[in-house]
Amino acid sequence: MAGTVAITNGVITGIRLDSGHYHPALHNLTTFLWAVKMYGVNLSKVSLLDFRGNWIGNVSVSAEDFLASGKTWEQFLQGATLEAKKTEETKDLRQARWNK
């Protein structure tokens, strides 16, 4: 997961998927949200924005609502497959950067 996390008075208030070239997908966000939820983070007041700063789903949805929306296992696997493809497509670019 990559992006920006807004924290106000020690409380996560927003997550934005702005990470430069990476642009995390919704399955990355889902995994991240489940992880922070396991640590007791209250997701009911956390806003979610895409890499352009638009609300995810074109409305202000809390992270808790996003998780409760019932993303299916098939959708999660599709996202993981697209992520693997994206990683493979950028492999040469990453290697060129390391070789500089």
CA dist 60 and 54 (Å) reads 9
- 38: pLDDT strictly greater than 90: yes
Each residue of 77-89: pLDDT tens digit? 677 787 778 778 7
Q: What is the mean pLDDT of the chain?
A: 80
CA dist 16 and 4 (Å) reads 5
Between β-strands 4-8 and 11-16, what pairing exists: parallel, antiparallel or unpaired? Answer: antiparallel
Each residue of 67-78: pLDDT tens digit? 887 766 576 667
